[in-house]
Structure 1
């Protein structure tokens, strides 16, 4: 891999899809692939998740369902009504792909490098065992990139 690779990886870890009804869509995926419906979980409250959208704290939460699909994970996302990239994107574009995610090391450094390349931070937050950041790469890459950093 080239040392010019900003992320330090080219392995897609996850595809995130926005949905209006996570129960219905999860069941459709489970039926289609003949797998168990994983159910959904709700993202943490703002005090734990420290969610920021466009530089401001937000109460935004989402229902998430994860399907492990071989080498990558499929994430279904049903956002609540609070301001978030999920809600804005769903309102503007309707249901469908929202992001592709990559596992990275050194979140702050990666965000800085991407912002220097005109790919600003849109939303970030914490989850149990790590953190995420959505970067606005839509202009160049036609999809949002999510950075995932898990603690070891």
Structure 2
């Protein structure tokens, strides 16, 4: 894997944009015959340090997670503020937004991807780590999300 810029080939998560997290979470729970997980809001900008297109952003989203063995499904209902979630939902409708990979060395991975023509579009912090969305649509036809968890 010397040429693998991410250092992994394991997809950790698939992120799906939705208009109604309550309804869609229930539909997934019913489909899989499992309990419906609770959804929660992402942190506010003071804690999450969210940046969208290089600018501080107050954008937030409702999130719900389904752990599906080796893969996690993330349902995302964005608020109305500018974000990669809101823009993608408005332009393309509901559906897959990203695939995510857990990486080590976030800054180096972001720099390497940007040099490959995949610019950083949004980043932020979460309890226990950070995320970065890379605009990889031109090359890979999907957004990449990098997740780096604190050690």
Q: Which residue of 1 aligns with 2:4?
A: 5
1:1-150 alignment to 2 at 5 Å? 2-150=1-149
Residue 70 of structure 1 deviates from its aligned partner by: 1.1
Aligned residue pairs: how many? Answer: 151
TM-score in terms of structure 1 length: 0.99
Residue 51 of structure 1 deviates from its aligned partner by: 0.2
Give the 3-state SS of the residue equivalent to 1:25 in structure 2.
helix
- How many angstroms apart in 2 are the aligned matches of 1:70 and 1:103? 16
Q: Deviations over 1:44-71 (max 9, x none)?
A: 0000000000000010000000000111
Q: Deviations over 1:18-73 (max 9, x none)?
A: 00000000000000000111110100000000000000001000000000011100
- How many angstroms apart in 1 are the aligned matches of 2:15 and 2:38? 16
Unaligned runs of 5+ in 1: none
Unaligned runs of 5+ in 2: none
Q: Deviations over 1:78-117 (max 9, x none)?
A: 0000010000000000000000000000000000000010
- How many angstroms apart in 1 are the aligned matches of 2:17 and 2:38? 16
- Provide the alpha-carbon RMSD of the alignment: 0.4
Over 3 Å off, 4+ runs: none
